[in-house]
């Protein structure tokens, strides 16, 4: 006979699990990005909504932002974001957060879709063109809309 150990999934048990395992959990890109999306809304004074096509909205201006995060360069010395093509027309601003270098970019929807290079994903230089010529047009597009 197999005896099962008591399993506790209460809010307090989950909270304690998060505290005990925070470093391991932050290695999970999905969880990391979810936290970054919520932080972004808080920093901007927006409401986090995680709706189809956008993640945050400003209740006063009704500006909708789709937030994408990247936190490690690819082996090709560039960064990438994905899963935005089906969101055409659903947000006002694409907010790209490079948490590896702690840089933030906010590109207007129409500009992003008119000027980006690439199909299905958006890639740019991990050094922002300082030591390479990887994806120069996308890199320049980002730099033009960097939030400082």
**Digit-coded pLDDT (tens) for 22-78:** 888 888 778 888 999 999 999 999 999 989 999 999 999 999 999 999 988 898 889
**Do 113 and 138 meet the contact criterion of CB atoms below 8 Å apart?**
no
Structure-model confidence comparison of residues 135 and 92, the more confident one: 92
Enumerate the domain spans of the chain: 11-147
Does an H or E element contain 94, and which? Answer: strand 93-98
Is pLDDT larger for residue 92 or for residue 120?
92
Cβ-contact 143, 104 below 8 angstroms: no
Asked if the model's pLDDT at residue 104 lies above 80, the reply is yes
For the entire predicted model, the pTM comes to: 0.88
Residue 85 confidence class, pLDDT cut points 50, 70, 90: confident
Question: Which residue, among 29, 37, 21, 32, has the nearest Cα to 74 in the 3D structure?
Answer: 29
- Give every CB contact of residue 30 below 8 A, 6+ residues apart in sequence: none
| CATH for the 11-147 domain, from 3.40.1350.10, 3.40.50.920, 3.40.50.2300, 3.40.109.10 | 3.40.1350.10
pLDDT at residue 28 in the model: 77
- What's the pLDDT score for residue 77? 87
Rounded to the nearest integer, the mean pLDDT of the chain is: 92
pLDDT at 3 over 80: no
**Confidence tier at 93 by pLDDT (50, 70, 90):** very high
Three-state DSSP class for 47?
strand
| pLDDT of res. 55 | 96
């Amino acid at each position: 006979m197999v005896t099962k150990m008591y399993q506790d999934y209460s809010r307090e048990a989950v909270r304690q699990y998060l505290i005990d395992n925070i470093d391991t959990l932050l290695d999970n890109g999905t969880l990391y990005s979810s936290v970054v999306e919520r932080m972004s809304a808080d920093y901007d004074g927006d409401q986090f909504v995680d709706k189809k096509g956008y993640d945050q909205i400003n209740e006063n201006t009704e500006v909708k932002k789709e937030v994408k995060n990247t936190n490690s360069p690819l082996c090709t010395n560039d960064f990438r974001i994905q899963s935005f093509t089906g969101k055409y027309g659903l947000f006002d601003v694409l907010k790209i957060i490079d948490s590896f270098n702690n840089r933030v970019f906010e590109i207007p929807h129409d500009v992003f879709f008119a000027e980006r290079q690439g199909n299905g994903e958006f890639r740019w230089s991990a050094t922002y063109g300082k030591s390479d010529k990887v994806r120069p047009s996308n890199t320049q597009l980002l730099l033009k809309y960097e939030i400082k």
